[in-house]
Structures are given as C-alpha cells and as structure tokens.
Amino acid sequence: MLTHSSTSRRSHLRPLALALAALLLTLTGPPAIAETPTFHPQAAQQIALLSQEKMSRSATQQKVDSRLLLETYRRQVSSPLATLTNLETLHTGVEVSFEGEVLVDMRAEVTPALLEFIEAAGGEIVNAHPRFNALRAHLPLSRLLTVAENPAIRNIRPADFMMQQMINTTEGDVAHATDLARVNFGIDGTGVQVGAMSDSVDALASLQASGDLPASVTVLPGQSGNPGSSEGTALMEIVHDMAPGAELFFATGLGGEAQMAQNILDLAAAGCDVIVDDVLYLGESVFQDGIIAQAVDEVAADGVLYFSSAGNSGNLDRGTAGVWEGDFVATALPPPLNGMGISAHDFGAALALGTANSNIITEQASNDAPLFTLQWADPAGASGNDYDLYLLDATLTVVIAASTNVQNGNDFPIEFIASAGIDHSGNRLVIVKFDGDDVFLHMNTHRGLLEFGTDGQIFGHPAAEGAMAVAAVNVATAGGGTFTGGPANPVEDFTSDGPRRIFFNADGSPVALTEGGPSSTVRRKPDVAGADGVSTATPGFDPFFGTSASAPHTAAIAALFDQLFPSVGVPSAYDVFRSEALDIEAPGFDRNSGNGIMMPDDALDAPIFADGFESGDTSAWTSNSFEGD
C-alpha cells in the first residue's frame, strides 16, 4: 500500500534540475538510442532455465506466485531450479519469518470449511471477506503447496504492498480561501460527516488534548491501524481546520485490498457524506476497476463524495515519469531463448526510437524496497496472455529478480518484483511475452525513473469514475495568500499524471467499442488539485507534502459544499468541482492538474446555483449515474 506523502527523492528541492530536464526533452524529443545492448549468454541461459521451470509447473504450483515458489525451491535439496547458478541470490521480496511463515493474500471461495482447513494446516487468518473472494493469512512456507491443493483456492501470492501517498492551522485554509467561504456563506461543515482513510491514528489522543482535533472522532472498531505513522490524524487535521463543524470518522487502509474495500463500505454505512483516502495498493487493476474501485463507485452511487490522492509517482511533462505504457512490440531474443517461442518487448520501436529490448532504471525510488510491476490489458481473473517481468543488471548479464507467474485463462494479468538492499539505478527491466497475443502494457517503477517513460501513471481506485483524483500544488506558490491560477501555481514535480485507459468493465467484459476508436475508454485523470506543503501538529508531518496532503483539502471543501447543498447528486457536485476549478498550468484540462485547483467560493457560488436554487430542491439533482470521460 502506498500513501501519497511525498518522498525525499521527489521533493520540492529539485525543481530546477527537473525543469531543465523537461525543457531539454521538449526541445530535443526523447533520447535517441546510441547502442542496442543484447542479452549476455549467461542471462539468456538464466531466463531459459526460469522459463523451463515455468513450463513444468503442476496445476497446484500454477496457483502459487512465482516469488513464493522460488522461496520454497531454495529450501529443497532438489528442485526444478537446482541448476540455476544464481538461485540463492535471486530477489523475491518475500519476507519469511523466523518461524518460517509468510504473509499471503488468497483469491478463493471463502467458506468456514476453507478457513478451518487453513488453520489446520498451521495458518493464521488475518481477515477474510467472502463478498470479495479474498482472505489474508500467515502460512508456513513448508505447507504452501498443501494449502494450494484445496480446490476453493484460486491463487496465492505475497501480501500486496500498500504505499502511502504522503501543524496549527493548515496554510491551505487561506490558499484555498475556505476561511473566507466560511464567513461569506455562514458554513463550517456542521451536519456533514467526513471519513478519512490512511495508515493509522496513533497520535489521536494527544491531538485531541492539544485541540488540533475535536474531542469526538469515531474510529471504526478494530480499524485504527495502530501502530503506524499516524498519517490519518494529519488528514483529519486538515479537514478539521477547513470544515471545523464536520464530524470526523476514520478507518485504516491497512489489511489488504479486500479489507480496504470493506472499510469504504463501512464508513459509508456509518453515515459518512464525504470520504478521503491517501493509500494505494500496487496490485490494484490498471485497466479495469478492481474491488476497491468498485467499492468507491458503490458508495458514490449512494451519495458519498469521494476524494483520493492521485499519487506521487511522477509525470512525463516534468521528466519524472517512472511508468511505461503502450502496445507490446516484439523483438527477437538470443539463443537458447530464440527457440523457445518467446520474445521481449521493444521499448525503442514502440516509441519509434530504434530498438531497445530493455528499459533502464535511471533513478530508483527512495524507499527501502524498490517495487516493479507489470500489468496488461486482460480481464482480472481471466488472463490468457502470459507475460513475465525480469530485472537484469546494467550489462544484461545477470538476472537479479524475476516474476514468472502462469496466465492460462483464469489468472490475474500482473507480475511483481520486489528487490531490497540494492540501488537499481542503471539496472534494466525486461518484459518477456511467454505466450499469447500482443496486448497493451503498463510497467511501473512506483516512484522510480525510466529511460523511456510515458504518461498514464494514475491507476487503481483514484481512477474510478466515482472518485475525484487529486493532484498536489505547493502552498508556497500562493505566497501566503490565495491561489491565483495559471502558471503561478504549477503542480508538484512528483504528482502523478493521467490519463487512465480502461479496457474492461468491472465484470471483465470488454468496454464498448467506439466507432473508429480503440477498444478502451480514456478517463481524464486527475480531476482537480489541492494544496500540499502545509503545517500539521501530527509528529512527522510538519510540513506535510504529497497528494496525501492535497486530497483532504478538497474533501474539506466538499464538506462545506455538502452542508450548503445537501441534495445535490454526486455527478452534479463533481461537475461543479471540475467546472469551477481554478485553471492552472496550460489553459484548460491537462493530464497533470486535471481541471485545476478546487476553490470553495467558485464552487459554492457556481452559475448553476444562480437562479435561486434551494438546497431542498432535488428535482434536477437526483442522478447518480456516471458518464465516462
């Protein structure tokens, strides 16, 4: 899980260098490929052995993530990879406890009988969600394949990573002019319930004692997330500063995708009118709405205004892109791979730049566990096109890590590499098509930088139609006053860009073909922007940078709006927020800032309310259907 607090690499300290890089890219275009490195015979042999092992997997082994299989092979005297010379040094990112246990996520038909079976095998259930066909558990690595034999289990993989998109009245109160809006409209959020989702609320009691949070804050039972960084209190502080009359709720985003989806539904059931989150799971579907996005759409259809951090993973225009998205283009592989019917993706040819069968990680994310994912345009749980992701050294000689899951028609289109303890700057990512058709790809370094990057960083539930994805603008650009718009208030260099291309409906069916267009819909994300770089009293979040900080600013404005116009439907409210946003950067909508900075005065005094609209008049504001952008 990511929360969208800013990282040190993508800080406000690098604007000049990044601006120069972006200017150079504009003037010269993408870098030309001076030389096309080829796979060293040693790396080719290693990839061949890993591919042969993949071909040999039994039906039970095919249910288990390749990283978990690799950990089991390392502990066997004889294994399918016994001849792989670098077996012991391959990185899996799997944490095995001293007791030999791993934390895993399972897709399964969750029944009491299955839970009893897992516990009898030595497992410990963390949470289980029959509605989402998902559960999380601690399992002995030695019993992994035994558990996988159960026919109720579809697949087992290491627990998904959650990343946070990450003092004292927020300076955003003045920059967004909510201080004036409260006076001009006589509102403070009274009667509106706002739910926040982040990691935890460890500092809640101390902030209530200091008066930075109200005495009454509802934390859903068992969902405090403690212990953690208490980023949840920082989100609630911002909301409370701007909409002090609103009632605050909290539920953690920890516990896996299914737990987060359930907590969204539970916050809505508790009465929340507005929900804001700053978390992202790396396994969330890119080209289809996953279970968290579906939960967002469900509560939005019931009238909840939902705001989510767009992310801190960079954008193409600032030269901070760490994602590659586009169609697969095949390039031949050297022996012995050329006789195995597999091919590598040609990043250079896909961008009309020549040939490049690998993509250099020019700068890795500044976190302890670099993460790399590959997803492609197949429906979740029904992928029959089989792709693999490899991490090689700078000379294409050694395979450092590999993700080689089987996709044969009933699997998820994702490969995942976690490799800690190494600076991967200069190393190379390689996409291999093991079997199937050429499809649309999304390879992500999650806050790293790539030699060949593209737009399309935003994915997962922030890209849901029912969510407002929020970009970040440094509050310092307001100069201590109110945002003025245009080039004076650019987005942060780290803020994630859109658009988001969607190929499948939530049920896995293809989206409707548009006449003369592609078989996908393009969602214009992000939607709006908000302030970051603000002060909070939460320890460790002064100042508070990242889209984690920007999202609660917009949620607070929504709370004020909801107090004044409680009967306005969600689609209509979103239309107001977008159309009345303060335009920044290039004129009109853009893929970095969306429609611009969300401002309360403009939203609360929008032209659609000019003809004597009363908050109780619901005749024109009852639709909760969403139109695709």
**Selection from 289, 310, 280, 299 nearest residue 197 by Cα:** 280
* Residues 6 or more apart whose Cβ sits within 8 Å of residue 614: none
With the C-alpha atoms ordered 594, 163, 14, 35, is the resulting torsion angle positive or negative? Answer: negative
Q: Is the pLDDT of residue 477 over 50?
A: yes
* Stated pTM of the model: 0.89
Q: Over range 581-590, report the average pLDDT.
A: 94
Instruction: List helix spans (H) across 143-244.
Output: 144-148, 172-175, 178-185, 204-210, 231-242
pLDDT at position 114: 98
Residue holding tokens 């969510």? 467
Q: DSSP assignment of 431-456, as one string? A: EEEEES---EEEEE-SS-EESS--S-
pLDDT computed for residue 605 by the predictor: 79
Q: Average pLDDT for residues 317-332, to the nearest whole number?
A: 94
Name residues whose C-beta falls within 8 Å of residue 111's C-beta, 6 or more positions apart in sequence. Answer: 130, 152
> Whole-number mean pLDDT of the chain?
89
Position 325 pLDDT exceeds 50: yes
Residues 429, 430, 435, 437: is their CA dihedral positive or negative? positive
Integer Cα distance of 47 and 84 in angstroms: 10
Least confident of 22-36, 279-293, 351-365, 542-556: 22-36
CA distance 41 to 43: 6
| Residue pointed to by tokens 């859903």 | 220
- 340 C-beta neighbours (distance < 10 Å), count: 16
Cβ neighbors of 370 (< 8 A, separation 6 or more) are 364, 418, 419, 420, 422, 424, 445, 446, 448
Question: What pLDDT is recorded for position 607?
Answer: 61
What interhelical angle do 231-242 and 547-564 show, nearest 10? 40
Among 571, 457, 497, 481, residue whose Cα is nearest residue 531: 481
CATH 3.30.1460 fits 2-10+317-450, yes or no: no
> Which helix (H) or strand (E) segment is 523 a member of?
strand 521-523
Check residue 458 and give its pLDDT.
98
Strands 279-281 vs 162-165: parallel, antiparallel or unpaired: antiparallel
Q: Is residue 537 a contact partner of residue 558, using CB atoms and an 8 Å limit? A: no
Closest CA to 220 of 236, 197, 203: 197
pLDDT confidence of residue 164 = 64
Please state, for a pLDDT cut of 90, what percent of the chain lies above it: 79
pLDDT at 369: 58
Question: What is the CATH number that goes with domain 45-160?
Answer: 3.30.70.80
Q: Please determine, for residue 524, whether its predicted confidence score (pLDDT) is greater than 70.
A: yes
φ, ψ of residue 400 in degrees (nearest 5): -85, -40
Range of lowest pLDDT (17-21, 123-127, 497-501): 17-21
Query: pLDDT category, 583, cuts 50, 70, 90?
Result: very high
Q: What is the pLDDT of residues 30-77, one digit of tens each?
A: 444 444 568 899 999 999 999 999 999 999 999 999 999 999 999 988
Q: Are strands 2-3 and 279-281 parallel, antiparallel or unpaired?
A: antiparallel
- Per-residue pLDDT band at 617 (split at 50, 70, 90): very low
Residues 6+ apart with CB under 8 A from 269: none
Q: How far apart are CA 27 and CA 455, in angstroms?
A: 18
Q: Is 134 helix (H, G, I), strand (E, B) or coil?
A: strand
pLDDT in tens, 407-429: 999 999 999 999 877 889 999 99
Instruction: State the pLDDT at residue 513.
Output: 62
CATH number of the structural domain 165-200+249-314+460-609: 3.40.50.200
Helices 291-301 and 257-269: crossing angle, nearest 10°? 10
Of the pLDDT bands very low, low, confident and very high (cuts 50, 70, 90), residue 4 is confident
pLDDT at 28: 40
Contact 165, 280 (CB under 8 A): yes
Q: What's the pLDDT at 516?
A: 45
Tell me what the mean pLDDT of segment 565-584 comes to: 95
Which element (helix H / strand E) includes 429? Answer: strand 428-435
Give tens-digit pLDDT for 350-376: 888 888 999 999 998 765 557 899 999
Residue 450 tokens, joined: 């790539």
Flag whether pLDDT at 107 surpasses 60. yes
Q: How confident is the model at residue 608 (pLDDT cuts 50, 70, 90)?
A: low
Query: How do the domains of the chain map onto residue ranges?
Result: 2-10+317-450, 45-160, 165-200+249-314+460-609
pLDDT of residue 538 exceeding 70:
yes
Angstrom distance (rounded) from CA 420 to CA 368: 6
